[in-house]
């Protein structure tokens, strides 16, 4: 039997897409191998968000060239953000690669497979799964980005926004549910743009409404949002649709208007605050997560202090912080000098993390003694674990099989990163407790 090996770096989108390619390959008779050298087909699913990530991809391509030299029958495929629109040039630079295909372009994969003499008949209209899937599954709904934030390479590599059809997504979610999923997270660089390019002009709220009607689906999440594109109708949809979790990722990146302008984010701090106020007005129990970049070119101490002030004021549940690093090919790398010293970037990053650890600790401690609904995703170190609707990780003990169930848990202990609890009604009545 032919074997495949998939190398993936980067975001959840890449992980979800690698899984989908693996599903296709298994349908075509391939079997997974954990050893690259034993594979007959190798796929690199690439990320180029940071210069260092692109360096890793080029390193892997070089490594693959060596293997292909000694094993000419090896099939080599590359997808992900490394694949830009100039595929001809990529083939010139890396002639040992058999197929470059854009993220999510499964037609290209199927066409190539057909040319290898493998029948793909029937698979072009949807992917039937042959494996069991995780309780919580990822579903890409839109590729690319039209925004051109000055520090970001994604629009140049992933290209313009391209939404998947509502029916196709509904089919995929139904198939995932048949194979064990209970929750889906819809993915896109900017999910708020979903559907504007479709003939039906569907929106993310339309899609959420469709998915909310699917029997057997417990929860729906989505990321990432763009503050300038988050519409009122979406906020109202989150508030009214029972399966859509009260958890919103809303990157603000910097707390100073001049820095935001240089980043080309398209909103001001005041507009961001107003948006948060509006969301909390409609969804009082909402959990917010955000992304922050520290040390953007020219960021002064005062400007950084404004970022800390937003963190203190909004009190996010989760903050992902990164130190700015210039990315070749972006507007910021051409126009701005990377003039915040690395030690200062590190210090600012540490200050954000320390502040957020305090805030997350306080938010977690407010849950002690409260009952929360947890969707159980697995078992680790003898304890079951899962997430609340607000995306908090909860651990608890039980002798019953809790996988994939919604269980009420009373929180007994908290830390900034996870909660510990006890089943609220006891193991014996677990079976009757929830859906």
Among 431, 383, 405, CA closest to 182: 405
Smallest gap, in angstroms, from Cβ of residue 332 to ligand SF4?
A: 11
Smallest gap, in angstroms, from Cβ of residue 151 to ligand SF4?
A: 7
Taking a C-beta distance cutoff of 8 angstroms, is the pair 154, 193 a contact? no
Which tokens go with 235?
Answer: 């906020």
- Interhelix angle for 106-115 vs 12-27, to 10°? 30
Count Cβ atoms below 10 Å from residue 50 Cβ, excluding itself.
15
Smallest gap, in angstroms, from Cβ of residue 157 to ligand SF4?
A: 10
Query: Which residue number, 104 or 155, has a Cβ lying nearer to ligand SF4?
Result: 155
Smallest gap, in angstroms, from Cβ of residue 234 to ligand SF4?
A: 16
Report d(CA 196, CA 190) in Å as an integer.
Answer: 12
Smallest gap, in angstroms, from Cβ of residue 224 to ligand SF4?
A: 7
Query: Which residue number, 151 or 384, has a Cβ lying nearer to ligand SF4?
Result: 151
Query: Which residue number, 97 or 149, has a Cβ lying nearer to ligand SF4?
Result: 149
Smallest gap, in angstroms, from Cβ of residue 43 to ligand SF4?
A: 23
Residues in contact with ligand SF4 by the rule CB under 6 A: 145, 147-149, 152, 154-155, 189-190, 226
Beta pairing partners, 222: 186
Smallest gap, in angstroms, from Cβ of residue 52 to ligand SF4?
A: 17
Query: Which residue number, 249 or 388, has a Cβ lying nearer to ligand SF4?
Result: 249
Query: Which residue number, 190 or 388, has a Cβ lying nearer to ligand SF4?
Result: 190
Taking a C-beta distance cutoff of 8 angstroms, is the pair 155, 148 a contact? yes
Task: Identify each DSSP E strand in 324-399 by its residue range.
Answer: 371-380, 383-387, 393-396
Query: Which residue number, 43 or 153, has a Cβ lying nearer to ligand SF4?
Result: 153
Report d(CA 409, CA 374) in Å as an integer.
Answer: 7
Query: Which residue number, 152 or 245, has a Cβ lying nearer to ligand SF4?
Result: 152
Backbone angles phi, psi at 409, to 5 degrees: -125, 135
Stated as kind and residue range, the H or E segment containing 320 is: strand 318-323
CA-to-CA separations, 357 to 247, 292, 302, 307, in angstroms, rounded: 19, 15, 22, 16
């Amino acid at each position: 039997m032919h074997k495949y090996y998939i190398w993936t770096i980067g975001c959840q989108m890449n992980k979800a897409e690698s899984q989908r390619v693996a599903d296709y390959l298994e349908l075509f008779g391939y079997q997974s191998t954990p050893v690259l050298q034993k594979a007959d087909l190798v796929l690199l699913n690439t990320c180029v968000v940071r210069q260092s990530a692109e360096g890793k991809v080029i390193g892997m391509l070089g490594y693959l060239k060596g293997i292909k030299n000694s094993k000419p029958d090896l099939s080599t495929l590359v997808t992900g953000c490394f694949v830009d629109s100039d595929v001809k040039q990529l083939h010139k630079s890396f002639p040992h690669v058999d197929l470059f295909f854009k993220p999510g372009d499964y037609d290209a994969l199927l066409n190539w497979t057909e040319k290898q003499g493998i029948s793909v008949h029937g698979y072009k209209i949807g992917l039937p799964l042959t494996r069991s899937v995780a309780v919580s599954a990822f579903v890409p709904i839109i590729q690319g980005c039209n925004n051109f934030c000055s520090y970001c390479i994604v629009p140049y590599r992933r290209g313009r926004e391209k939404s998947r059809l509502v029916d196709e997504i509904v089919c995929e979610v139904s198939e995932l549910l048949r194979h064990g999923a209970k929750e889906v997270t819809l993915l896109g660089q900017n999910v708020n743009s979903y559907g504007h390019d479709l003939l039906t002009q569907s929106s993310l709220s339309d899609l959420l409404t469709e998915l909310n009607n699917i029997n057997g689906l417990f929860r729906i999440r989505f990321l990432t949002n763009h503050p300038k594109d988050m519409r009122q109708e979406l906020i109202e949809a989150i508030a009214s649709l029972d399966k859509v979790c009260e958890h919103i990722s809303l990157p603000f990146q910097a707390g100073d208007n001049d820095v935001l302008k240089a980043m080309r984010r398209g909103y001001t701090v005041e507009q961001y605050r107003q948006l948060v106020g509006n969301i909390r007005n409609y969804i009082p129990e909402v959990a917010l997560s955000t992304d922050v970049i520290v040390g953007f070119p020219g960021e002064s101490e005062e400007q950084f202090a404004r970022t800390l002030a937003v963190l203190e004021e909004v009190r996010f549940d989760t903050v992902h912080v990164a130190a700015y690093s210039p990315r070749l090919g972006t507007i910021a790398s051409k126009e701005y000098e990377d003039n915040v010293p690395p030690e200062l970037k590190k210090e600012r990053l540490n200050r954000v993390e320390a502040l957020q650890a305090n805030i997350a600790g306080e938010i977690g401690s407010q849950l002690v003694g409260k009952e929360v609904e947890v969707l159980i995703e697995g078992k680790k170190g003898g304890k079951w674990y899962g997430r609340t609707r607000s995306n908090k990780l909860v651990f608890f003990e039980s002798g019953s099989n809790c996988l994939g169930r919604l269980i009420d848990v009373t929180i007994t202990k908290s830390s900034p990163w996870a909660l510990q609890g006890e089943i609220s009604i006891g193991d014996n009545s677990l079976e009757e407790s929830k859906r």
